[in-house]
Amino acid sequence: MAGLRVSCAKRPVAAADIERIAGEIEAELQQLGKAEVPSRLVGDKVIHKLKELDKVAYIRYAIVYLQLDDLESIQSEIHHLLAES
């Protein structure tokens, strides 16, 4: 939830949408029936949901999650995102 909130800060994303996404991800993970899931799986689900919800929030999350640590990699991700739109 913290990562979602930070990514969506000052974006036109309702708190209810953030809670909905967290709930959806939690339900999907519970359906796996495993006591533990890798954090990578959680992050993958978060980034996918953010991509659908808000592109800027997605980029914010991707910078940290995908470890985009230079302008070229951030620019590349933005270009991929624009190409998909």
Cα separation of the two ends of the chain:
26
Question: What is the pTM (predicted TM-score) of this model?
Answer: 0.88
Q: What is the largest CA-CA distance in the chain?
A: 40
Which range marks the domain in which residue 71 is found? Answer: 2-84
Residue 8 token pair: 């969506």
Please state the domain count of the chain: 1
Q: Tens of pLDDT along 12-34?
A: 999 999 999 999 999 999 999 99
| pLDDT of 85 above 90 | no
67 secondary structure, DSSP code: T
